[in-house]
Chains A and B, each alone.
Chain A
């Protein structure tokens, strides 16, 4: 399933983009070059990006322009970025931040 807006009555046809593969929580997803992490995942119907640290409730993008920091994800080993501002690249490994549990472990 893709949610891409391919034909737009005013903006025209979506220009052909290079397809790349990204990984989110270990799963491979197809993305377009020029996507942000948030738009690439949204195009595949993925809306939940992280779990709230305390309550563990799912969270996704809210503002999509860098203001709310709700879309924080981990890229690689430790870098945390805003998914709505960060472009994808071939093979990028993205992980959800998870809730804290007792004893300092993560779920």
Chain B
């Protein structure tokens, strides 16, 4: 039987598979996407050193390493259901049932949407969809686009689309409302963009940060030029909000309105920006569906992007034989996901092969690496990640004790 079945061939799943296989475990990885690499595949940022972070190359490296270690990887397989059995897990997939002793969920994150009239039109797509189309499939969704949502991911991907030859006409904000909330309030948007100053992964983001270096977000929003600031030729307009995606049969543009620093519409300022396609950039949230089926308990943690399965720093959940790693435990960069994956793979080996001093040391080193990687992260999706993680680990230990007590009592 398989010792470890990994769901998700992204940076976390692959790194875990490699680490576990290196310790002699029999490992299989499943992914529903046709290519190995998960969301690494679309990534292309310039580091402060000027070097490019090329997700396709990194994905390829991990893939080869995994194959070398004898990991069995199967793409185009969807996992639809899982259940616990006395031997471990039965995993139901689009190609039948697979049995495994241990299960690692590394299903990553999904994008959060911001609904507005017209967003169901063909040609209105998520920002990630455009990234994958351009960088992975090497197809432009159109020659020009408007991006709704000004955040770290949308700015990075705007740059990537430009490299693909797409004219990004403007990055604007959604209109504030019950879902968009602060993402539609210019002074709040400024505050979050200004956090990127020193972390900025490339010149592009650094410039956006520079703008507000010496003033408060409120003042920055107040004096933010009506025409936006241009970064590498792309205007970012934080005081212009999208109110509708327009088009007959497919998207052909966005109806916009100017808004005050606190997000109120300014009468008589409606405009239309035409574009071949429109991207919605709402942000990312951990994808928790399978963990929920498996019986994990959850916490809603804003800093980590949403609902996350309660887990230890060693990537164990309270459910025996069930592990998690990567963005399912909170939205962070691919480098953190890789480091977490290694911890998970080693922990599974530690728990399967029996505790040994050597594996214990390896786990400790891997944990250290996660902390270091996190501290040096260039892209931080939310502030307060480190503190939020510490809270989760404490809550997990409390639950573990509670469960143990419940078992001894009964």
Chain A residues close to B by CB (< 8 Å)? 3-6, 8-11, 14, 35-36, 38-39, 42-43, 47-49, 52, 57-67, 84-87
In whole Å, how far is B117's beta carbon from the nearest beta carbon of chain A?
A: 12
Cβ–Cβ contact A3 & B120, under 8 A? no
Residues of A within 8 A of B340 (CB): none
Residues of A within 8 A of B54 (CB): 10-11
B39 at interface, CB cutoff 8 A? yes
Knowing A48-B122, A60-B122, A63-B126, say if A36 contacts B34 (CB, 8 Å).
yes
Show 23 A/B contacts (Cβ-Cβ < 8 Å), sorted by A.
A3-B140, A5-B138, A5-B164, A6-B138, A9-B163, A10-B163, A11-B54, A11-B56, A35-B139, A47-B122, A47-B123, A48-B122, A57-B120, A58-B122, A58-B249, A63-B126, A64-B126, A64-B133, A66-B33, A85-B32, A85-B33, A85-B34, A87-B76
Knowing A10-B54, A63-B128, say if A47 contacts B34 (CB, 8 Å).
no
Cβ–Cβ contact B139 & A64, under 8 A? no
B219 at interface, CB cutoff 8 A? no
Q: Which 6 A-B pairs have the closest CB atoms?
A: A60-B122, A64-B129, A39-B137, A47-B122, A3-B140, A48-B122
B273 at interface, CB cutoff 8 A? no
Cβ–Cβ contact B32 & A5, under 8 A? no
B110 at interface, CB cutoff 8 A? yes
B378 at interface, CB cutoff 8 A? no
Residues of B within 8 A of A39 (CB): 133, 137, 139
Residues of B within 8 A of A84 (CB): 129
Give Cα A59–Cα B129 distance, bound, in whole angstroms.
14
B135 at interface, CB cutoff 8 A? yes
Cβ–Cβ contact B138 & A42, under 8 A? no
B303 at interface, CB cutoff 8 A? no
Chain B residues 67-89 with CB under 8 Å of chain A are: 76, 78
Give Cα A82–Cα B165 distance, bound, in whole angstroms.
27
From B32, B126, B138, contact of A62 by CB (8 A): B126
B197 at interface, CB cutoff 8 A? no
Give Cα A42–Cα B136 distance, bound, in whole angstroms.
13
Chain B 253-294, CB within 8 Å of chain A: the 1/0 string? 000000000000000000000000100000000010000000
Cβ–Cβ contact A58 & B121, under 8 A? yes
Cβ–Cβ contact A5 & B134, under 8 A? yes
From B121, B132, B250, contact of A65 by CB (8 A): B132
From A3, A4, A61, A62, contact of B142 by CB (8 A): A3
